[in-house]
Amino acid sequence: MKKEIGLYVHVPFCVRKCAYCDFASFAGREQDEEKYVDAVLREAETRALPDAAVATLYIGGGTPSLLPPALMDRLLSGLRKTFDFAPGAECSCECNPGTVTPGFLSVLRANGINRLSFGAQASQARLLSLLGRIHTWAQVRESVAMARQAGFQNINLDLMLGLPTQTADDLRETLSEALALSPTHLSCYGLIVEEGTKMHRMVTSGAWVLPEEEEERDMYELCRETLFRHGFEQYEISNFALPGSACRHNADCWKRKEYIGLGSAACGFLGNIRYQNPPDLSDYLNGKPAEETVISPGEARFESMMLGLRMTEGVSDASFTAAHGVSIREAFGERLDKPLRQGLIEWADGFLRLTRKGMDMQNSVLVELME
Ligand code: SF4
């Protein structure tokens, strides 16, 4: 039987740069789209593994829904030719509201995409404009309706919290608007102010004011309570799903399963190697090779904790032992004691997991676990 791996494909094109974005994405490079798809398919041929089947595919970006339908068709059908897909593979595509068309969605369906993720963010025009998003909430509604019309049932909406001027009432309204669209999955991300972004300039100059830490924590609690009331389960710090609808691709990354990444800036992880393709689009198109890093056994053990503790179930001691040849206690010894004593982590049914308090202090826990 073939081993199962993940496959990530980065599509770096965007209409314009959002105020908070430090992802490898580029506005005004549509002329490179065709060349790019061809380069990704060439890379796919060099990275395909004969003994592996793709269990999850994730087309992310950037804005994958900006690719013209014919190019998306070329990309997806090329991937299907190059890789074996496991039966029932989860295949996701990120879309920006307002950029999808029935033609684009039918290309996705025809090529086995069975999960969509929309960057919805907030239902207030004021916040969407502050974020520099190109869409309105009316377009979120239209795009989701179009997706349902095309036959998609498994739909995620990304939402943001902790935004300048955002209030608990704004978030309450956004959650209610989002739930009215009956998504199966909601990702609720706290804003991270990255250096080099407009958001960073506006916040550091004092022009935009972030909510206090306490207010942001309350917003996070509001997300949790609201979504629990509507039948969602939290399976990761920022991710909530109806039973059976957790994103397998992301969960597999947090469980440190192997995946191939294709495209500019894409990362991959196979055996004890992590690689990253050049983040710059021109470098990637010009064939600059990926940077590879060999992961030592100690780094691999730490990675398992860093990634696995993001999940509410935590890190399975049995899986950890199978992967690393030592148990969590043998690997981390006394370094576990302080966060256990402080009530930041706990053992539950063979898993080591963050407590609710630990979720707010994940970085402190990781600092304790470092050698
Ligand atoms: S759509 Fe996404 S990737 Fe593109 S600029 Fe905005 S945040 Fe960045």
Question: Residue 351's beta-bridge partner residues?
Answer: 316, 348
Give the model's pLDDT for residue 268: 97
Question: How many domains does the chain fold into?
Answer: 2
Give the model's pLDDT for residue 108: 98
- Number of helices and strands in the chain (H, E): 16, 17
Asked whether residue 147 falls in the same domain as residue 216, the answer is yes
Report the 10 Å Cβ neighbour count for 87: 6
Give me ligand 1 centre to Cα 62, in Å: 5
Q: Render pLDDT for 1-33 as a digit per residue (tens, 0 to 9).
A: 899 999 999 999 999 999 999 999 999 999 999
Give me ligand 1 centre to Cα 131, in Å: 10
Asked whether residue 237 falls in the same domain as residue 354, the answer is no
- For strands 291-294 and 273-276, give the pairing: antiparallel
Mutation pick for ligand 1 pocket among 23, 131, 157 (CB with most ligand atoms within 8 Å): 23
Asked whether residue 23 falls in the same domain as residue 87, the answer is yes
Asked whether residue 247 falls in the same domain as residue 344, the answer is no
What pTM does this model have?
0.96
Question: Among the three residues 237, 254, 271, which one is the final residue of a domain in this structure?
Answer: 254
Look at residue 58 and tell me if it is in a domain: yes
Q: Render pLDDT for 252-284 as a digit per residue (tens, 0 to 9).
A: 999 999 999 999 999 999 999 999 999 999 999
Asked whether residue 162 falls in the same domain as residue 225, the answer is yes
Look at residue 286 and tell me if it is in a domain: no
Report the 10 Å Cβ neighbour count for 30: 13
Ligand 1 atom 3, closest CA: 62
Q: What is the CATH number of the domain that holds 121?
A: 3.20.20.70
The H or E element containing residue 297 is: helix 297-308
Look at residue 287 and tell me if it is in a domain: no
> Tokens standing for 80?
């299907």
> Tokens standing for 100?
């999808």
Residue 63 CB burial class (10 angstroms; 0-12, 13-18, ≥19) = buried
Asked whether residue 239 falls in the same domain as residue 333, the answer is no
Domain interval for residue 357: 296-371
Give me ligand 1 centre to Cα 99, in Å: 13
Asked whether residue 216 falls in the same domain as residue 333, the answer is no
Mutation pick for ligand 1 pocket among 15, 63, 163, 193 (CB with most ligand atoms within 8 Å): 63
Ligand 1 atom 8, closest CA: 21
Give the model's pLDDT for residue 109: 98
Q: Look-up: residue for tokens 């036959």?
A: 151
Asked whether residue 231 falls in the same domain as residue 359, the answer is no
Question: Among the three residues 227, 254, 281, which one is the final residue of a domain in this structure?
Answer: 254
Q: What is the CATH number of the domain that holds 370?
A: 1.10.10.920
Give the model's pLDDT for residue 99: 95
Asked whether residue 198 falls in the same domain as residue 312, the answer is no
Give me ligand 1 centre to Cα 167, in Å: 23
Give the model's pLDDT for residue 64: 97
Give the model's pLDDT for residue 1: 84
> Tokens standing for 49?
């593994």
Look at residue 264 and tell me if it is in a domain: no
Look at residue 269 and tell me if it is in a domain: no
Question: What gap in Å lies between CA 315 and CA 300, rounded to an integer?
Answer: 13
Nearest to 199 by CA among 127, 130, 282, 268: 130
Question: What gap in Å lies between CA 253 and CA 249, rounded to an integer?
Answer: 6
Question: What gap in Å lies between CA 69 and CA 66, rounded to an integer?
Answer: 9
- For strands 26-27 and 13-14, give the pairing: parallel
Asked whether residue 142 falls in the same domain as residue 208, the answer is yes
**Per the omega criterion (within 30 degrees of 0), is the bond before 62 cis?**
yes
Question: Among the three residues 200, 227, 254, which one is the final residue of a domain in this structure?
Answer: 254
Which ligand 1 atom sits nearest the alpha carbon of residue 16? 5
Give me ligand 1 centre to Cα 21, in Å: 6
Contact 265, 279 (CB under 8 A): yes
Mutation pick for ligand 1 pocket among 18, 95, 121, 157 (CB with most ligand atoms within 8 Å): 18
- Listing DSSP states for 132-172 in one string gives T-S--HHHHHHHHHHHHHTT---EEEEEEES-TT--HHHHH
Nearest to 166 by CA among 128, 194, 133: 128
Look at residue 237 and tell me if it is in a domain: yes
Give me ligand 1 centre to Cα 12, in Å: 9
Asked whether residue 97 falls in the same domain as residue 240, the answer is yes
> Tokens standing for 278?
């050049």
Which ligand 1 atom sits nearest the alpha carbon of residue 17? 5
Residues with CB under 6 A from ligand 1: 14, 17-18, 21, 23, 25, 61-63, 96, 119
Give the model's pLDDT for residue 178: 98
Which ligand 1 atom sits nearest the alpha carbon of residue 62? 3
Look at residue 261 and tell me if it is in a domain: no
Question: Residue 7's beta-bridge partner residues?
Answer: 57, 260
Residue 327 phi/psi, 5-degree rounding, is -80, 170
Quote the longest CA-to-CA distance of the chain.
58
Which ligand 1 atom sits nearest the alpha carbon of residue 96? 1
- Listing DSSP states for 199-247 in one string gives HHHHHHTTSS-PPPHHHHHHHHHHHHHHHHHTT-EEEETTEEESTT-S-
Give the model's pLDDT for residue 237: 93
- Listing DSSP states for 17-31 in one string gives --TT--SS-EES-GG
Asked whether residue 42 falls in the same domain as residue 140, the answer is yes
Give me ligand 1 centre to Cα 93, in Å: 14
Look at residue 280 and tell me if it is in a domain: no
Give the model's pLDDT for residue 370: 85
The tens-digit pLDDT sequence of the chain (371 residues) is 899 999 999 999 999 999 999 999 999 999 999 999 999 999 999 999 999 999 999 999 999 999 999 999 999 999 999 999 999 999 999 999 999 999 999 999 999 999 999 999 999 999 999 999 999 999 999 999 999 999 999 999 999 999 999 999 999 999 999 999 999 999 999 999 999 999 999 999 999 999 999 999 999 999 999 999 999 999 999 999 999 999 999 999 999 999 999 999 999 999 999 999 999 999 999 999 999 999 999 999 999 999 999 999 999 999 999 999 999 999 999 999 999 999 999 999 999 999 999 998 888 999 999 87
Coil, strand or helix: which one is 360? helix
Question: What gap in Å lies between CA 255 and CA 312, rounded to an integer?
Answer: 12
Dihedral angle, C-alpha 166, 172, 174, 176, nearest 10 °: 180
Mutation pick for ligand 1 pocket among 16, 17, 26 (CB with most ligand atoms within 8 Å): 17
Question: What gap in Å lies between CA 155 and CA 228, rounded to an integer?
Answer: 18
Give me ligand 1 centre to Cα 96, in Å: 9
